[in-house]
Chain A
Amino acid sequence: MNFAFSIQDVLGVLPEIIIALGACAMLILDLFLERDKKEWVAYLGIFVVILAAIASWCLINTAEPYVMGRMMVIDNYSLFFKFTFYLATILTLLLSINYAKSADLDYRGEFYTLMIFSLCGMLVMASGSNLITIYLGIELMALPIYVLVGFLKNDTRSNEGAMKYVILGGFASGLLLYGMSLIYGLTGTTDLAGINAALSAGTVSPVILTLSIVLMAAGFCFKLAGFPFHMWAPDAYQAAPTPVTAFMAVASKGAAFAAIVRVFLEALYPAYAEWQMILAVIAVLSMFYGNTVAIMQTNIKRMLAYSSIGHAGYALLGLVAGTGEGSAAIMFYILVYTLMNLGAFAVIIMMRKTGKVAGDSIYDYKGLAKNNKVVALVMLIFLFSLAGIPPMAGFMGKLYIFMALINQGYIILAVLGILTTAIAAFFYIRIVLFMYMKEPEGEFDLVKSCALYIVIAISVIGVILLGVVPGSLMELASKAALLL
């Protein structure tokens, strides 16, 4: 491995460097702040993320995408995902400021800092072009989130959710790592392009190859909460502080997709025949399981957890298509999912009554439309988008996925996807019915916060804009998508 260092390498990973050093700076700043001034850590975090976004902006269309001895790749595909993560992190930080203050969390500074550390892991995941960097990114993303889920350390439920998450997450990385080690043994390299070349040569044992693909698929599906590996998701989502739920629902799932698409399309594509069936089964089961079990939930965070299992299924279908069109559809879907889900969580945080940290029952939404017309309308937009009802962006996201499938001849998968969308509409619309058709059971005591309004405004504009005129962004995604 010859490694000649150049300034190009540093410039290529400048966003990651900025984020990592910025997180260290936040940690140090937190030590010297009074207890009631901790939100400055969050402001520094937002500033750092914006700085990294500017650095990433300068890297669009780089001539030489591979840096750091082919460990990282700075192509437009990774940059598209990075901008999604920047957006998700900034919105989550805005959600957290008010939440952390009113819940009077201990260690508020660390709360924001851990999110930035997690963001650093996501960036590495999106850019990794080597199994080592991808694995490092996954863990750097996951470890802070384990802590964040258990952040309410005197709350037993938060402890339990975090414990389940950390044990099952560790198990998943074990599976993933074992699969990676087998791939390394088979091909003699951890470089994604090198693996592709070795697999194309076709001298590897098909049994061990299938085994390692199964193990890696299992490990990745764990991170993105696909069906047989979803057990942690509802518990962790419900137990975590609500901004963390939003963060792990959108950003960590997006990062998992960024990595799985790159690994499977760039490295394992010669074995497409082996893995497309495995992923198709996982996707279909996730869609059916997530959307049917969500019907029975009465806690809205738990319901959104099951719905996110379903959404992971839809996005995985884009990977099953195995084309550049499919990966562009995934990129679009993840961005849309980020906006609509963060918006829905912003409304949930807004609904939080004083002193009630969790326990967001769907019955709390009864009659919301009577006195709070705007909030109810906004929630309706997010729920319709999650359900995939036109003209919201969620509809366009699903449409692109299904089109990519149909163009590859997977008509049955597309039909199954549309069928589960119909099931999913039921539980989203139930909340809309609660808001509009029922009488309120008491006074609503909505949180008033400028940061929350900003998040909701950005999400609403994004969801409607991407739903009505998705063309330009989709074109961007198609250009950035991984070409085979």
Chain B
Amino acid sequence: MESIPVTWFVALSAILFLIGASGVLLRKNLVIMLMSLELIFNAVNINLVAFSYYLQDLTGQLFAIFSITIAACEVAVALGILIALVRNRRTFSADEIKTLNG
């Protein structure tokens, strides 16, 4: 069975990356922004694992494991801060966060 060319995986990850990046930059809901961040990290993981397979080199998979772990830690910290914010402000909207301006 022939294998899928690496460009397909890179294209998939590029699309995921763009969806994630536009989600972070355009959406107003903080939870959805965090979800978009996860999309970016998953795009990276697809890239790493695909390259790792095509180069027959394990480093990429190693990198992907670390990247998954760190993404989870990052989201844990972000959710903790989000809960503190929601308790004080009762809002999930990024637009209403504007005490600090100037």
User: Interface majority SS on B: helix, strand, loop or mixed?
Assistant: helix
How many interface residues does chain B have, given as a range?
A: 35 or more
Q: A174-B40, A178-B47 are in contact. Are A157 and B100 (CB under 8 A)?
A: yes
Q: Is B11 interfacial (CB-CB < 8 Å)?
A: no
Q: How many angstroms from the CA of A147 to the CA of B40 in the assembled complex?
A: 22
The reply to whether B81 and A166 contact each other, CB–CB distance below 8 Å, is yes
Stretch in A132-140, A283-291, A336-344 with 4+ CB within 8 Å of B = A132-140
Given A1-B59, A162-B81; A174-B100 close (CB under 8 Å) = no
B3 at the interface (CB under 8 A from A): no
For A131, the closest partner residue in chain B by CB is: B63
* A1 surroundings in chain B (CB, below 8 A): 58-59
Known: A146-B81, A159-B84. A174 touches B20 (CB 8 A): yes
Known contacts A1-B58, A136-B66, A185-B51; A178/B30 CB under 8 A:
no
Q: Contact at B66–A181, with CB atoms within 8 Å?
A: no
Distance to closest chain A CB from B46 (angstroms): 9
B44 partner residues in chain A, CB cutoff 8 A:
174, 177-178, 180-181
Please report A residues at the B interface, Cβ cutoff 8 Å: 1, 131-132, 135-136, 139, 143, 146-147, 150, 153-157, 159-164, 166-167, 170-171, 173-175, 177-178, 180-182, 184-185, 188-190, 234-235, 238-239, 296-297, 299, 302
Given contacts A171-B40, A184-B59, 9 further A-B pairs with CB under 8 A are A132-B63, A159-B85, A163-B81, A166-B78, A166-B81, A174-B44, A181-B47, A234-B100, A238-B100
Where the two chains meet, the residues of B that have a C-beta atom closer than 8 Å to any C-beta of A are 6, 10, 13, 17, 20-21, 24, 30, 33-34, 37, 40-41, 43-44, 47-48, 50-51, 55, 57-60, 62-63, 66-67, 70, 73-74, 77-78, 80-82, 84-85, 88-89, 97, 99-100, 102
Q: Give me 25 A-to-B residue pairs in the complex whose CB atoms sit less than 8 angstroms apart, sorted by A's number.
A: A131-B63, A132-B59, A132-B62, A132-B63, A139-B73, A157-B99, A157-B100, A159-B84, A163-B30, A163-B82, A163-B97, A166-B81, A167-B78, A171-B21, A173-B70, A174-B20, A178-B17, A178-B40, A184-B60, A185-B47, A188-B55, A188-B57, A189-B59, A234-B102, A299-B102
